[in-house]
Amino acid sequence: MSNGTGYHEYPELLTGSTVTVDYTSDREISLGDYSCEALHIWHFNPKSKSFLDLPAAPNLKYLEINFSNCTSLVGLEKYPLLQRLDLNYCTKLENLNGIEVLSQDIYCLWIDHSQKLINHSDVAMLPNLKTLGLHSCGTIQNLDFINNLKKLTTFMFMDTNVADGNMSPLIHHTPKLRSLSFSSKRHFSHNYREICKALDIEL
């Protein structure tokens, strides 16, 4: 475990400490007296397959979890000040159950390599979301849910399929998307270059 004075990529989030933990299931994560505002956890594979086993950290603003067997977001509601959530290689993540009780201050949600994930549209329950990443995730049924994200300006979904192929919600979203990436597929109504041209996004 290590702690520092901040996390250089997100200085606007942090004034307290950053803690990094490599988890093993035979010991409990303890943050001791850390005033932890950023927590990076590796190999979080508890027997419960639940984030309920994460430690309390009432001041936490940024949580990054790398490689986990957890199946939903239940348990993350213990972080009422959370603003950024990164889930990388949470390959057992099946749904976003629990998102409805997460911090309403979350402005960035990044999910990478969760190919079992199905209910992507539940991200619309985060009204202040500005940045959304759904890379290499399970098939998104449609993009209509972004219409409910009134602050979204960055949307990335590389290597993630969209079942109905309708890309027009990207063009008509208000406010206009300023940053975008996705992998073009044959059944998509527009390819990446066409969407970027419509939004005046430089390639």
- Look up the CATH number of the domain holding residue 90: 3.80.10.10
Residue type, 88: N
Q: What is the pLDDT of residues 79-120, one digit of tens each?
A: 999 999 999 999 999 999 999 999 999 999 999 999 999 999
Sign of the four-CA dihedral 115, 181, 121, 80:
positive
What amino acid occupies position 183?
A: S
Q: What is the pLDDT of residue 114?
A: 98
The stretch 166-192 carries a mean pLDDT of 97
Tell me which residue range forms the domain holding 119: 2-199
Count Cβ atoms within 10 A of the Cβ of residue 98 and give its class: 0-12 exposed, 13-18 middle, 19 or more buried. Answer: middle
**Domain count of the chain?**
1
Q: Residue 30 pLDDT more than 80?
A: no
CA angle 19, 8, 109 (to 5 degrees): 75
Dmax over Cα atoms in the chain, in whole Å? 54
- Residue (of 94, 60, 88) closest to 76 by Cα position: 60
Q: What is the mean pLDDT of residues 43-68?
A: 92
